[in-house]
């Protein structure tokens, strides 16, 4: 599939690796940076289509919010483990659950932009826990110059593989896209229940915040983890 992930905000908090590992199926292992696991709350606007087929405006465009962390497979490859994905199109939820075995939920969602202020809102419809909500507002700042970005900035955002699990074991799919054009951003408001709904404790402290205007992403077919 070909996606566009636009108007995207990364919010990342430190977590105890043992707390996060409880939610990760073996043989995947939570990946750490500076001794911590990191959990991301990532709201954005999605456009999805098949190759050589034009998107259908209402059906193909919708908001999405992910709760994610980062894992390492036995072969040393690393990527994203999604703890939950909320999307505003029921058809996208059904497709992703059946083909990629990702934990998608159907939610009522909106994204509004007023100058540099971006507000993301969602409330889960089904499956449960029904009613889990998320309300985030940020103020977008200037773009980072390459020499302003540090190793952690790249580690949190430059991910080219996603993992999932099915009845046949762990699977992965490649996500090919150019590097994220990252901006600084200031968190104005965060009232989130999705991280707790995923089975994690309330995050502590202020998150690291990035914003990106977006990139085009090509999602490959899922493969078994023991195959390349």
Q: Which residue has the higher pLDDT, 2 or 197?
A: 197
**105-123 tens-digit pLDDT:** 999 999 999 999 999 999 9
What is the pLDDT at residue 67?
Answer: 98
110 is written with which tokens?
A: 């909106």
Contact 122, 56 (CB under 8 A): no
What is the pLDDT at residue 94?
Answer: 81
66 - beta bridge partners? Answer: 42, 85
What is the pLDDT at residue 50?
Answer: 63
77 is written with which tokens?
A: 């490859």
Tell me the CATH number for domain 2-224: 2.40.400.10
Contact 227, 171 (CB under 8 A): no
Domain ranges of the chain: 2-224
For residue 182, is pLDDT > 50? yes
Going through 127-182 in order, the beta strands assigned E by DSSP cover 133-143, 161-166, 169-176
Task: Look up residue 36 and give its DSSP letter.
Answer: B
pTM recorded for the entire structure: 0.92
Q: Which residue has the higher pLDDT, 53 or 151?
A: 151
Output helix, strand, coil percentages for the chain, rounded to the nearest 5: 15, 55, 30
Q: How confident is the model at residue 167 (pLDDT cuts 50, 70, 90)?
A: low
178 is written with which tokens?
A: 């150019």
CA distances for 135 relative to 25, 65, 67, 89, 149, angstroms: 29, 11, 14, 18, 27
What is the pLDDT at residue 30?
Answer: 98
Cα gap 50→47, rounded to integer Å = 11
Lowest mean pLDDT, pick from 30-39, 71-80, 127-136: 127-136
Segment 22-45 mean pLDDT: 97
């Amino acid at each position: 599939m070909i996606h566009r992930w636009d108007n995207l905000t990364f919010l990342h908090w430190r977590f105890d690796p043992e707390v996060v590992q409880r939610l990760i199926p073996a043989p995947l292992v939570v990946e750490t940076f500076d001794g911590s696991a990191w959990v991301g709350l990532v709201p954005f606007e999605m456009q999805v289509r098949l190759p050589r087929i034009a998107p259908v405006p209402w059906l193909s465009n919708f908001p999405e919010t992910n709760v994610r962390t980062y894992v390492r497979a036995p072969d040393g490859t690393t990527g994203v483990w999604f703890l939950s994905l909320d999307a505003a199109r029921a058809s996208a939820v059904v497709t992703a659950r059946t083909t990629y075995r990702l934990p998608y939920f159907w939610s009522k969602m909106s994204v509004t932009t007023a100058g540099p202020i971006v507000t993301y809102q969602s409330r889960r419809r089904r499956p449960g826990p029904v009613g889990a909500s998320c309300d985030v507002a940020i103020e977008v700042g200037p773009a980072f110059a390459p020499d302003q970005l540090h190793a952690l900035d790249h580690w949190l955002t430059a991910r080219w593989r996603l993992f999932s699990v099915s009845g046949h074991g762990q699977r992965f799919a490649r996500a090919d896209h150019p590097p994220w054009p990252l901006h600084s951003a200031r968190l104005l408001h965060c009232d989130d229940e999705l991280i707790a709904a995923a089975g994690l404790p309330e995050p502590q402290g202020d998150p690291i915040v990035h914003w990106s205007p977006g990139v085009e992403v090509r999602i490959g077919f899922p493969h078994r983890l023991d195959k390349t």
